[in-house]
Amino acid sequence: MKILNPIIAIVFCFTTIAMTQSDRKERVQDCASKSGEGAIYLKEFVVSLPKVTKGERPPMYRQAIILRGNNIYRFNLCNDKGQSIIRVYDSSNMLVSSYDTKTHKEYNPINFLCRKTGQYNIIITFKDGKAGEAVGIMSHVMK
């Protein structure tokens, strides 16, 4: 393929990137607006994961964050494709999840009372290892 005018190609490339960033910003703002009363936006998690193939572990999004003790954090998810699940872990224990595996009930948003300042891991997966896209929002909730 021959590009007749490289300047047009560069402009097209930047326009495509800008639209993608604009879409991301809109998705994040829309999801943040659904955080609920008293929630103050802190961070977003934009996730796109492929479908799992048989015999493989399901793909996951993982983000280490620092949370302060004696604070309430709210996590909510907005799915574009798939059914996402968010979990909060300390070093090795799951502390809270948006999905109860025993009852198969989903909770969105979920609140987490952080008792100790430290590093926590945010894990986002899609139910049954399916492919999906989602935005997760972490907010601080006033007591």
Residue 141 CB coordination number (10 Å): 18
User: Is the domain covering 6-141 a CATH 3.90.550.40 domain?
Assistant: no
Q: Does the pLDDT of residue 105 top 80, yes or no?
A: yes
DSSP letter, residue 130 = -
Band (pLDDT 50/70/90 cuts) for residue 140 is very high
Provide the residue ranges of all domains of the chain, joining segments of one domain with +. 6-141
- Tell me what percent of the residues of the chain surpass a pLDDT of 90: 65
What is the C-alpha to C-alpha distance for residues 101 and 34, in angstroms, rounded to an integer?
24
Task: Write down the pTM of the prediction.
Answer: 0.80
